[in-house]
Amino acid sequence: MGDWGLPQLMRNLAQVKAASAQFTERKTVHMLSAPLVTSGMLNYIAPDRMQKITVSPKPERFVLDGDQVTIAGGPDKQVHTFSLADYPQIGGLVEGIRATLAGDLAALDRFYVVQLSGDPSNWQLLLQPKDTDLTRFVKWIRIAGSRNRIVDVETEDTDGDHSDMSIVEDAGDAR
């Protein structure tokens, strides 16, 4: 393993210029007696464009482009555009995932206390928010991966709600 560590992992991740994957997300919400399961596709283009297209149970599109978020096709059938900074509860979360994808350690450090465990083929990043705005909503985020692929994103909200998104990357992506 030698000098494998956070900087090395981040460098590896930074080399990924584009990726696409299938996801299945399972949310446990304290208000609900049954978990909510959604699935769809993820797209990423370095360094800051992310797309989450939910297919089931209802189609919805979430696009992050730089600082700008666009949500389309939600229950109200309208397009909402807003700045990440306006909604810290979404902003911090999205920023954590984006920064991991981009291998942007500086951005991660800005929002989170970062802890790495495991080895290159099976690593886990534990992100604990620093920002008080974000600690009101998110307890921690755990991103698991193998080499330069992310396979799972787990989120624990302050109110005990939990979300687990497992990711299966499409083969043949430009690396």
| Cα 89 from chain centroid (whole Å) | 13
Question: Is 30 a residue that touches another protein (CB under 8 A)?
Answer: yes
Considering only 1, 2, 31, 172, the residue that binds another protein (CB under 8 A) is 31
Question: Is 62 a residue that touches another protein (CB under 8 A)?
Answer: yes
For residue 64, the one-letter residue type is L
Contact segment (CB under 8 A) with another protein among 3-11, 41-49, 87-95, 146-154 equals 87-95
Considering only 99, 127, 137, 148, the residue that binds another protein (CB under 8 A) is 137
State the helix-helix crossing angle for 6-14 and 88-102, rounded to 10 degrees: 90
Question: Is 148 a residue that touches another protein (CB under 8 A)?
Answer: no
Question: Is 11 a residue that touches another protein (CB under 8 A)?
Answer: no
Question: Is 27 a residue that touches another protein (CB under 8 A)?
Answer: yes
Query: What DSSP line would sit under 57-122, residue for residue?
Result: SS-EEEEEETTEEEEESSTT---EEEEGGG-HHHHHHHHHHHHHHHT-HHHHHHHEEEEEEEETTE
Considering only 1, 3, 34, 171, the residue that binds another protein (CB under 8 A) is 34
Considering only 20, 89, 128, 135, the residue that binds another protein (CB under 8 A) is 89
Shortest spacing between CB 64 and another protein, in angstroms: 10
Residue 157 β-bridge partners? 138
Q: Say if CB 168 and CB 20 are below 8 A apart.
A: no
